[in-house]
């Protein structure tokens, strides 16, 4: 698993000042076989899923329900994939997760995938 979007950019030091990019959600790409366990683990740290809506029950989503808490400022969104539809092999979840890198003790996408 690794951080996506704003959380990844902040963690690799992309911005000179972290105030340049505010985040309210932390997006994390998780391998499918770890998704359920990760969802349970995050809930053990005071996060609770938002209630499902009518549409959530009938449409495919690339992420699990939004997890929120009163303890921390950001919510967490666990992604099973980056895109609802993707035809490019280089953007497949398996390849993206395989090619992750560690920067500042955090897993993030390779530079060309950010």
The residue range of the domain holding 106 is 2-113
**43: exposed, middle or buried (Cβ count in 10 Å: 0-12, 13-18, 19+):** middle
Q: What pTM was computed for the model?
A: 0.74
Measure the CA–CA gap between 53 and 100, rounded to whole angstroms.
Answer: 33
Helices (H) then strands (E): counts for the chain = 3, 7
Confidence band for 12, pLDDT divided at 50, 70 and 90: low
Measure the CA–CA gap between 79 and 4, rounded to whole angstroms.
Answer: 9
Query: What's the distance, CA 43 to chain centroid?
Result: 15
Highest average pLDDT, of 5-9, 13-17, 98-102, comes from: 98-102
- The mean pLDDT of the chain is 78
Q: How many domains does the chain have?
A: 1
pLDDT in tens, 14-57: 667 767 666 778 888 888 899 999 999 999 999 999 887 776 67
pLDDT in tens, 15-24: 677 676 667 7
Measure the CA–CA gap between 91 and 39, rounded to whole angstroms.
Answer: 23
């Amino acid at each position: 698993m690794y951080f996506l979007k704003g959380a990844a950019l902040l963690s690799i030091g992309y911005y000179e000042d972290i105030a340049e990019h505010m985040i309210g959600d932390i997006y994390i790409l998780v391998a499918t076989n770890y998704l359920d366990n990760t969802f349970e683990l995050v809930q053990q740290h005071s996060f609770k899923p938002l209630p499902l809506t009518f549409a959530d029950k009938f449409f495919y989503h690339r992420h699990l329900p939004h997890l929120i808490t009163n303890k921390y400022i950001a919510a967490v969104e666990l992604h099973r994939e980056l895109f609802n539809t993707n035809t490019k092999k280089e953007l497949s979840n398996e390849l993206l997760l395989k090619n992750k890198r560690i920067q500042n003790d955090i897993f993030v996408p390779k530079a060309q995938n950010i």
